[in-house]
Amino acid sequence: MPKPLIYSLCKISDTGSSDVVWMAGVCAGIAYTFGIPVWMVRLFFIVVGLVTGFVPLFVIYVLLAVLLPSLLCPDDFYEKTQGIEDNGD
């Protein structure tokens, strides 16, 4: 039996691009796990923060940053999150 998707959650620690990992890499890890763009996860966090008053969301974010395992940027990160890889050109 395959593992539930929730057990695949991680934070992305080093992508070589500051556009992807802004703080702890939690949003990038969630985007990678679910295969959605990172900006959508960040927008979701902002909207939920505005609705709930940021404090509950801040606590959840800090817990995720502490508890989620760290993962170096996988080779398929940009393909899976529909991001554009910056080659430094």
Q: Where are the domains of the chain?
A: 5-80
Dihedral of alpha carbons 33, 34, 40, 44, sign: negative
Nearest to 11 by CA among 57, 64, 80, 49: 64
Residue with tokens 């959605």: 36
pLDDT digits (tens, 9 = 90+) for 25-45: 888 888 888 889 888 998 999
pTM score, two decimals?
0.71
pLDDT digits (tens, 9 = 90+) for 58-89: 899 889 888 888 877 777 777 777 765 544 43
Flag the least confident range among 11-15, 16-20, 80-84: 16-20
